[in-house]
Amino acid sequence: MRYRPNPKDYEFIWLVNNMNFFETSLWLHKEYQKKDFIITCRDKEWKTYISKEERRRLSEYGLIFLRKRLGDYKKNVYKVIKEVDKAFKGIEKKNLNISNNDLKIDFLKNIKFASSLWELYFFTEYFMHDEVSKIIEEKNDKSLLKKVHEMQKIKFNLRKVLNKTIFKGNIFEKYLDEIQRRTKRKDLGHLHYGEIADLIVGKKVDKINRTYFVLGRFNGWKPIVGKDALSIIDSLDQELLKEKNYEIKGQIANKGHYKGYVKIIPFDLKEDIDKAIRKMNKGDVLVTGSTGPEMIVACHKAGAIVTEEGGICSHAAIVSRELKIPCVIGTKIATQILKDGDYIEVDAYKGVVRKISK
């Protein structure tokens, strides 16, 4: 390996469970590829890291974007949502009894639709809004806060459509089932969507085990597998685990103080979210990676919310304020330290979560 990234130069931003290489290729649009991110996957745990310098640059750009480009962005988002939502509904009714070439064309067309949504969603991500949060907190900038509220709504509506591209029962499962039937290949989850498109029309694509992999701008986004991948993953994980202790720190999304039992609902693409929510008791502390539209019912049952990711535009920040419950976001490691049934204190005046004895 010609270049090895220094873990100290990067920071963890989120964890997703059960995201495979195909789904990664769908998600990895040009906005990420132009920037200094690293993606790792091991034991079905998919993690994303951003360089500290890149986060600083994006934070500065996020402020400019919100102040000067939000209007045009909003128009474009709702135009695309309308088009894509219509296309996705058509897929549910579509008969895939078509030629291999037509199947390839249709598959790639909808990949393009989905990727365009993910590209728009990039500008709502929490790493874009560090500087925005700082200015609102320090200067009480009401004009900027109004724009943040607009962005929160955009993010929520985009996420509702995006969930149809990745969660269990997503629109691409239909295609992958048909492609597997035709090609007899059971390793589609290990392939890039472009490799799958080649398979459809009979081109040779070698089998490769991408159960664990690393991708990053540092090597031109070429997949790293094998011992080299594990070595990079180990070094990044070791740096992240240095933060582990019994006091978890994050940002305050909504002030308050609460003690309760932990209910972890991981950000898991194969999880039956509704089933997991039904197992949650009223008043539990919801601990999760991210709170999208799929988690709204869980938020309403929660006595407090703790997330690993999130910023001023996050769903957790919006919902916790509406429900008037304490919320700490951006803890990075909460689901890795806490477990179901732990009794914890959520101090959302200090942005701290602690394990305690009852």
The CATH number of the domain holding residue 289 is 3.50.30.10
Check whether residue 214 and residue 276 sit in a common domain: no
Check whether residue 28 and residue 92 sit in a common domain: yes
Check whether residue 224 and residue 254 sit in a common domain: no
How high is the mean pLDDT of the chain?
93
Res. 56: pLDDT tops 60 = yes
Q: What average pLDDT does this structure show over 51-67?
A: 97
Res. 338: pLDDT tops 60 = yes
**pLDDT computed for residue 243 by the predictor:** 60
Check whether residue 19 and residue 72 sit in a common domain: yes
Check whether residue 122 and residue 225 sit in a common domain: yes
Domain boundary among 210, 236, 262: 236
Does residue 2 lie in a domain region?
A: no
Residue pair 132/312 in contact by the 8 Å Cβ criterion: yes
Beta strand 247-249 pairing with 343-347? unpaired
Of these ranges, 115-124, 132-141, 159-168, the one predicted with the greatest mean pLDDT is 115-124
Check whether residue 197 and residue 94 sit in a common domain: yes
Check whether residue 35 and residue 63 sit in a common domain: yes
Q: What average pLDDT does this structure show over 315-322?
A: 89
Check whether residue 53 and residue 140 sit in a common domain: yes
Of the candidate ranges 134-148, 189-203, 307-321, the one whose mean pLDDT is the lowest: 307-321
Cα–Cα nearest to 334, from 279, 288, 291, 274:
288
Domain boundary among 211, 236, 261: 236
Res. 245: pLDDT tops 80 = no
Task: Place 1 in a pLDDT band, splitting at 50, 70 and 90.
Answer: low
Q: For 349, which DSSP code?
A: T
C-alpha 353/C-alpha 347 separation (Å) is 6
Res. 9: pLDDT tops 90 = yes
Q: What average pLDDT does this structure show over 203-216?
A: 96
Structure tokens at 312: 């001023």
Structure tokens at 275: 């089933």
Does residue 15 lie in a domain region?
A: yes
**pLDDT computed for residue 13 by the predictor:** 92
Does residue 207 lie in a domain region?
A: yes
Indicate the number of domains in the chain. 2
Of the candidate ranges 41-45, 101-105, 255-259, 313-317, the one whose mean pLDDT is the lowest: 313-317
CA angle 310, 316, 319 (to 5 degrees): 155
CA angle 351, 354, 355 (to 5 degrees): 160
Cα–Cα nearest to 45, from 267, 291, 311:
267
Q: What distances in angstroms separate CA 1 from CA 16, 224, 231, 248, 309, one per listed residue?
A: 26, 9, 11, 35, 31
Residue pair 236/10 in contact by the 8 Å Cβ criterion: yes
Beta strand 10-17 pairing with 304-307? unpaired
Q: What average pLDDT does this structure show over 204-211?
A: 94
**pLDDT computed for residue 147 by the predictor:** 95
Give the CA dihedral 274, 275, 276, 279, nearest 10 degrees: 120
Residue pair 334/287 in contact by the 8 Å Cβ criterion: yes
C-alpha 308/C-alpha 289 separation (Å) is 5
**pLDDT computed for residue 76 by the predictor:** 96
Domain boundary among 236, 267, 286: 236
Task: Place 270 in a pLDDT band, splitting at 50, 70 and 90.
Answer: confident
Check whether residue 115 and residue 223 sit in a common domain: yes
Q: What average pLDDT does this structure show over 31-52?
A: 96
Check whether residue 215 and residue 287 sit in a common domain: no
Residue 220 belongs to what domain range?
7-236
- Choose between 85 and 225: higher pLDDT: 225
SS3 344: strand
Cα–Cα nearest to 312, from 133, 190, 174, 103:
133
Angle between helices 70-93 and 100-121 (to 10 degrees): 150
C-alpha 320/C-alpha 172 separation (Å) is 33
Res. 97: pLDDT tops 70 = yes
Q: What distances in angstroms separate CA 40 from CA 45, 219, 237, 313, 329, one per listed residue?
A: 8, 13, 10, 25, 22
Check whether residue 283 and residue 323 sit in a common domain: yes
Check whether residue 349 and residue 297 sit in a common domain: yes
Does residue 1 lie in a domain region?
A: no
**pLDDT computed for residue 314 by the predictor:** 82
